[in-house]
Amino acid sequence: MDSIRILVRRLENYPAEWPLPSYATPGSAAVDLRNAGPAFVLPPLGRRLVPTGLAIALPPGTEAQIRPRSGLALRRGITIINTPCTIDSDYRGEILIPLINLDQEPQEIEHGERVAQLLVARVFTIEWAETDALPPTERGTGGFGSTGR
């Protein structure tokens, strides 16, 4: 796997004893982010921005994507409102995670609990090439389940 150097700043709410986010396994695509704020209860359909205590400087031509943790989503109904969240390469503020509780029960989020995943991806800028017709494909204009036949 290729690697990329990302500058990271621990903010005052990131405990000194916490290591920086790391990959859980050699094949992991993303690192886990933790709740660097106090514990809180998220009511059913409640939303909250969760601080991570980290700020990063991404190289030009990259973005960071924030994604839900599958275990939290499956077991507790906790996900991210606008997933995947995009962190642009020119953003330097704290990474905040917009969580939502889709479960019917309130869910407590502990201080230090892993709440999201972060991965870095390449970004291409768009150069529009206007045309009167698009090249044909087998699928054509079929969408919204059209390939599930």
Q: Report the CATH number that the domain containing residue 49 is assigned in CATH.
A: 2.70.40.10
Give the range of the structural domain holding residue 73, as residue numbers without chain letter.
7-122
Residue 56 near residue 87, CB atoms below 8 Å: yes
In tens, the pLDDT along 81-132 reads: 999 999 999 999 999 999 999 999 999 999 999 999 999 999 999 999 999 9
For residue 70, being part of any structural domain is answered with yes
Give the chain's domain count.
1
For residue 25, being part of any structural domain is answered with yes
For residue 60, being part of any structural domain is answered with yes
For residue 144, being part of any structural domain is answered with no
pLDDT of amino acid 141 = 83
Residue 149 confidence class, pLDDT cut points 50, 70, 90:
low
Residue 96 CB partners (closer than 8 Å, separation 6+)? 49, 50, 51, 52
For residue 46, being part of any structural domain is answered with yes
In tens, the pLDDT along 11-58 reads: 999 999 999 999 999 999 999 999 999 999 999 999 999 999 999 999
For residue 83, being part of any structural domain is answered with yes
